[in-house]
Amino acid sequence: MQQPSGIGITAIGAYAPPKVVTNADYEQHLETSAEWIESRTGIRERRYAADDEFTSDMGVRAVQDLLGRYPQALEGVDMVICATATPDASFPATATLIAAQIGLHGVGGFDLSAACSGFLYACAAAQGLVAAGINRRVLVIGAEVFTKIVDQTDRATAILFGDGAGAAVIEQVPQGYGFQGFVLGSDGAGAASLYAPCLAPKLPDGTVIDSRYTVMNGREVFKFAVRIIPESGQQVMDKSGLKVSDIDWFIPHQANIRIIESACERFRLPLERTIVNLDRYGNTSAATVPLALSEAVADGRIQDGQQLLMVAFGGGLSWAACTMKWYAGNGVQDL
Ligand code: UT7
């Protein structure tokens, strides 16, 4: 019997609400065109949560999808982490609200705030908890209802975002599988480029917060993204002893196809080895990476033993990159 020595994802699921909003729908109330949106972003449509649905609802549905695919997956889960920029409440943590609804009573639970980089940050936290022996199986959720914190009358931001969630179980996996490296970074000096208000009337740099909604300098975030994806991606590959030619699948944060294409060009990695679903979901913030991963595992593109590179960026400014060898078994139960 092989001894468990890696830590990785052993179950994955995702959810996007049924309401589809197409680019043409925005033409009704914004000065924009479906053609502009698709050519500048690659997005064709995205999903909106119902008025009475929030992040915990997205998260619960993603966990239900995971359970449909891996019925035993929640057995022994002793921690829930929810990465989100749109928690149901300041407190309690959305993680605890989700845990109670999926029947996990008495487990640890906390939210993680790293905007669009949140899911990969949460994977790193989960790996640390398992490696330290603090937890055995950690349920990591990236869930958002970002459309509720975007001004739907602002054409510069409204068209970009959608709602959804992804969920993953992280635990010990056989040697040679699982996470190989993480690079996590942030630079709060760039906070004014992308933020959503909460309590403070100003950012530390003096920026006055006078909107109830997400504020974004699209061009600044774009420039940051095309720099940081190749930079952090290369760093994590170096750390893991990998080359671009070793990567079977690149799973980037789904914000803009032009950002993804630019990263692929810099890496000299063909777009065909990249998982892209932003055309159908837009930018779901912390949910993009698990949504993309979940789809590609479900449709058989990602196979056992394949080498993955995942990179995300977002508000903070923040970034996170991760290398992982995909394990298609059922974690420690298989060993
Ligand atoms: O998770 C991270 C979240 N954020 C991002 O990833 C954002 C990264 N940035 C981007 O994806 C792009 O910068 C955008 C898609 C937001 C904008 O594309 P762009 O090619 O950088 O356009 P721009 O901001 O330079 O704007 C070009 C023009 C402007 O008009 P003027 O100033 O040239 O007259 C905008 O007002 O396009 C205008 N514009 C629009 N026109 C039609 C901005 N939004 C729209 C719109 N429809 N929806």
Q: How many CB atoms sit inside 10 A of residue 67's CB?
A: 16
Say if residues 294 and 166 touch (Cβ distance below 8 Å): yes
Quick: pLDDT tens for 39-88: 999 999 999 999 999 999 999 999 999 999 999 999 999 999 999 999 99
The verdict on the CB of residue 256 being under 6 Å from ligand 1 is yes
The verdict on the CB of residue 32 being under 6 Å from ligand 1 is yes
Site to substitute for ligand 1 among 40, 151, 223, 262, most atoms within 8 A of C-beta = 40
Name the pLDDT band for 329 (thresholds 50, 70, 90).
confident
Q: Ligand 1: which residue has its CA nearest to atom 42?
A: 32
Q: What domain range includes position 216?
A: 1-335
Q: How many CB atoms sit inside 10 A of residue 64's CB?
A: 14
Query: Ligand 1 atom closest to Cα of 115?
Result: 1
List the CATH number of the domain containing 223: 3.40.47.10
The reported pTM is 0.96
Coil, strand, or helix at residue 117?
Answer: helix
* Active site residues per annotation: 116, 253, 283
> How high is the pLDDT of residue 331?
54
Quick: pLDDT tens for 205-233: 999 999 999 999 999 999 999 999 999 99
Quick: pLDDT tens for 156-203: 999 999 999 999 999 999 999 999 999 999 999 999 999 999 999 999
State the virtual CA torsion across 125, 127, 130, 131 in degrees, nearest 10.
Answer: -110
Domain count, the chain: 1
Q: Is 276 left (phi over 0), alpha (psi -120 to 50) or beta?
A: beta
Quick: pLDDT tens for 75-109: 999 999 999 999 999 999 999 999 999 999 999 99
Q: Find tokens 């995909």 and name the residue.
A: 326
